[in-house]
Amino acid sequence: MKKIRKKLKYLKIKILLKLVEKEIKDVLDTINEKNTNKLISLIESKKNIFLTGQGRSGLVAEAFGMRLMQLGFNVYIAGEATTPSITKSDLLIAISGSGKTKITEDIVNEAKNKNTKIVLITANKNSPIAKKSALTIEINARTKTNNKKSIEPLGSLFEQSAFIYLDSVIILLMKKTKKKEKYLRKKHANLE
């Protein structure tokens, strides 16, 4: 791996893309199918879905939330001005590579106080947030706080893998709800 890093500055983009693609594939190959089915069941059974994450994990949460909304789910991003109160009838999905991001943990604690079901998407299944979650989806990738190997900087491998994983969950939800892309397109933003 050290030799690859030293040579990276001399690599061509196509070679680099292949290396990144292999890293993402290796991470996604470790995803737990049963936990994914549990996640889908929770999404389908809850009144509202709240999402949270900070930094790039927050961007992944927003992208997932957009697709869930386009599928017809009631979706809110924690911290937005138009986000209502969370209740025990709802679901909070938190994305945190480390599983211990302070703001995310504070939001999880508040949801826990309301008896809300919590799902964590993380690289750290033994984290403080994981211990408070009903379900933990492990994305076994490098983050900015662990020592796992990656040619990518900081948490990029976790964030990219989480994005691809959650987009794949959307495809599964589309199949399960029998909603076609045409349905999503009708709910796509038109004030842009």
In a domain, 81, yes or no: yes
CATH number of domain containing 131: 3.40.50.10490
| Sequence letter at residue 1 | M
In a domain, 16, yes or no: yes
In a domain, 150, yes or no: yes
In a domain, 145, yes or no: yes
* Residue pLDDT, tens place only, 33-88: 999 999 999 999 999 999 999 999 999 999 999 999 999 999 999 999 999 999 99
pTM: 0.90
Q: pLDDT band for position 174 (50/70/90)?
A: very high
In a domain, 135, yes or no: yes
In a domain, 192, yes or no: no
Q: Residues with Cβ < 8 Å from 48, sequence gap 6 or more?
A: 74, 75, 76, 84, 86, 87, 89, 90, 91
In a domain, 6, yes or no: yes
Q: What is the DSSP letter of 8?
A: G
Mean pLDDT of the 157-170 span: 97
The range of the structural domain enclosing residue 132 comes to 2-186
pLDDT of res. 1: 57
| CA gap 167, 128 in Å, rounded | 26
In a domain, 191, yes or no: no
Q: How many domains is the chain partitioned into structurally?
A: 1
Catalytic center residues: 159
